[in-house]
Structure 1
Amino acid sequence: LARQTPIDFVNVSHSAYVASYSLATQMADMAFDPAPFRSLPARIRAELRTEGFDTPVFAVCRFTGLDEADAMIAAGHADAVGMARAHLAEPAIVRKSVEGRLDEIRRCIGCNQGCAGMLERNLPIRCLINPIAGLEAQFDEPEALPRGARKKVLVVGGGPAGLEAARVAAALGHDVTQWERSDQLGGQLRTAWLMPKRANFETFVAFQIAALARLGVTTIFNKEASAAEIAAFGADRIILATGSTTTPMPVPGSGPVFTLPDALRAPDRLGAAVAVFDRTGEWGTLAALEHFADLGKAVTLFVPAASYAWRTTIYSTLANSRRLRERKVRIATLRAVRAFDGGTLEVEDLSTGEVARLSGFSALVAVDHNSADQALYLALRRAGLPVMQAGDNNAPRTALEATYQGHMAARAPFPVASGLTT
Structure 2
Amino acid sequence: MEEGVAAAKILVDAGYDSLNVDAGTYDSWYWNHPPMYFEDGMYREFGRILKQEVDVPIILAGRMDNPELAEESIGTCCDIISYGRPLLADAEIATKIKEGRVDEIRPCLGCHEGCMGRIANATVSCAVNSACGRENIYGLTPALQKKKILVAGGGIAGMETARVCALRGHDVVLCEKSDHLGGNLIPGGVPHFKRYDLKLVDYYKRQMELQGVEVHLNTEVTADTAKSFQADIIVCASGSTPKQMTVNGELPVYTADEVLLGKQDASDQIVIIGGGLVGCETALWLAQQGKKVSVVEILPEILGGHGAMPHMNYYMLTDLLNYHKVDIYTDTKVLKTTSDGVVVETDGTQKVLPAKTVIASIGYIENNMLYEQLKDSEIPVYNIGDSSQVHNIMYAIWNAYELARGL
Query: Which one is further off, 156-165 or 400-409?
Result: 400-409
Give structure 1 stretches of 5+ with no counterpart. 49-53, 414-422
Q: Deviations over 1:236-287 (max 9, x none)?
A: 11110000121112322232211111122238633221111116x22x2221
| TM-score, length-scaled by structure 1 | 0.87
1:410 equivalenced with 2:404 (yes/no): yes
Deviation at 1:304, TM superposition (A): 1.9
Q: State the partner residue of 1:112.
A: 112
Distance 1:46 1:263, change over 3 A: same
Q: Can you list the C-alpha shifts for 1:64-115, whole angstroms capped at 9, x where unaligned?
A: 2666544433x24323232110111012223444555444321323233322
Structure 2 counterpart SS, 1:169: helix
Q: Which residue does 1:64 correspond to in 2?
A: 65
* 1:175 corresponds to 2:209: no
Q: Once the two structures are superposed, what CA deviation does each residue of 1:379-409 show, in whole Å capped at 9, x if it has no partner? A: 2122233111110010111122111112222
Secondary structure of the residue aligned to 1:227 is coil
Given that 1:158 and 1:241 are in contact with CA atoms closer than 8 Å, whether structure 2 keeps it comes out as: yes
Structure 2 residue aligned with 1:360? 354
The answer on 1:318 being equivalent to 2:315 is yes
Residue 250 of structure 2: aligned partner: 254
Q: CA deviation at 1:221?
A: 1.0
Counterpart of 1:271, as a letter, is S
Aligned length, in residue pairs:
395
The residue aligned with 1:166 is 162
- Which of 362, 367, 384 does residue 390 from structure 1 map onto? 384
Q: Tell me which residue corresponds to 2:4.
A: none
How far off its partner does 1:62 sit?
0.8
Gaps in structure 2 of 5+ consecutive residues: 1-6
Q: CA deviation at 1:36?
A: 3.5
Q: Is the 8 A contact 2:142 2:169 kept in 1?
A: no
Query: Quick one: distance in 2 between partners of 1:217 and 1:14?
Result: 43
Q: TM-score w.r.t. structure 2 length?
A: 0.90
Letter in 2 for 1:187: G
Aligned counterpart, 2:393? 399
Cα 1:195–1:65 shift into 2, 3 Å: closer
Moved more, 121-130 or 38-47: 121-130
Instruction: Kindly report structure 1 stretches of 4+ aligned residues shifted beyond 6 Å.
Output: none
User: 5 Å matches for 1:303-342?
Assistant: 303-310=297-304, 311-342=308-339
Q: Which residue number corresponds to residue 190 of structure 1?
A: 186
CA RMSD of aligned residues (A): 2.2
1: CA distance, partners of 2:178 / 2:264:
24
Q: Look up the match of 2:344.
A: 347
Q: Which residue of 1 aligns with 2:92?
A: 92
Q: State the secondary structure of the residue aligned to 1:404.
A: helix
* Comparing 188-197 and 58-67, the one that deviates more: 58-67
One-letter code aligned to 2:270: V
**Matched residue of 1:222: which SS?**
coil
- 1:124-273 equivalences in 2 (<5 Å): 124-140=123-139, 142=140, 145-146=141-142, 148-266=144-262, 269-273=265-269
AA aligned opposite 2:88 = L
Report the equivalent of 1:55: 56
* Distance across 1 between alignment mates of 2:199 and 2:165: 21
Identity over aligned pairs, percent? 28
165-174 or 336-345, larger mean C-alpha shift: 336-345
Going from structure 1 to structure 2, the CA distance change for 1:25 and 1:250 (only over 3 Å counts) comes to same
Letter in 1 for 2:78: A
Q: Is the 8 A contact 1:277 1:336 kept in 2?
A: no
**Does residue 300 of structure 1 match 2:294?**
yes
